[in-house]
Amino acid sequence: MAVAAAGIAKFLFFLFLVICLIFLISGISAGRRIP
């Protein structure tokens, strides 16, 4: 049970990092488009 919980937590953390990275890249792209 603990191993499964750790795996889920690790997966959610990785997912959170990916979402933050996507928002960061899209934010930079939007900032560059607007003069």
Say which residue the tokens 């919980």 belong to: 5
Q: Number of structural domains, the chain?
A: 1
Structure-model confidence comparison of residues 2 and 23, the more confident one: 23
Contacts (Cβ under 8 Å, ≥6 apart) of 8: none
The pTM score is 0.65
Sign of CA dihedral 6, 10, 13, 19: negative
Range of the domain at 28: 1-35
The whole-angstrom separation of Cα 8 and Cα 2 is: 10
Q: pLDDT tens digits, residue range 4-33?
A: 999 999 999 999 999 999 999 999 888 887
Question: How confident is the model at residue 1, as a pLDDT?
Answer: 77
- Give the 3-state DSSP-derived string for 6-34, with helices as H, strands as E and coil as C: HHHHHHHHHHHHHHHHHHHHHHHHHHHHC
